[in-house]
Amino acid sequence: MDKKLVKAINEQITKEMYSSYLYLSMAAYFESIGLEGFSYWMKLQAQEEIIHGMKFFDYLNERGEKVILGAIDKPPVNFKSVVDVFKKTLEHEQLVTASINNLYSIANKVNDNASTIFLQWFINEQVEEEKNAMDILGKLKYVKAETAGMLMLDKELAARPQPILDPKAQ
For residue range 99-138, list pLDDT tens digits in order.
999 999 999 999 999 999 999 999 999 999 999 999 999 9
What are residue 158's phi and psi, to 5 degrees?
Answer: -70, -15
Closest listed residue to residue 14, CA positions, set 97, 91, 70: 70
* Phi and psi at residue 132, to the nearest 5°: -60, -45
- Cα separation, 79 vs 29, in Å, equals 7
- The average pLDDT across 129-149 equals 89
pLDDT tier for residue 167 given thresholds of 50, 70 and 90 = low
- Residue 148 pLDDT class (50, 70, 90 cuts): confident
Percent composition of the chain: helix, strand, coil (DSSP 3-state, to 5) = 75, 0, 25
Q: What angle do CA 104, 107, 113 make, to 5 degrees?
A: 105
What's the gap between Cα 142 and its chain centre? 25
Q: Mean pLDDT throughout 137-162? A: 86
pLDDT at site 131: 97
Alpha-carbon distance of 55 to 20, in angstroms, equals 14
| pLDDT of 25 strictly over 70 | yes
Tell me what pLDDT residue 164 has.
66
Q: Are 60 and 10 spatial neighbours (Cβ–Cβ below 8 Å)?
A: yes
pLDDT tens digits for 49-105? 999 999 999 999 999 999 999 999 999 999 999 999 999 999 999 999 999 999 999
Q: Is CATH 3.40.605.10 what the domain over 3-71+79-157 is classified as, yes or no?
A: no
Tell me the whole-structure pTM to 2 decimals: 0.91
59-84 residues labelled b (16+ CB within 10 A) or e (exposed): bbeeeebeeeeeeeeebeeebeebbe
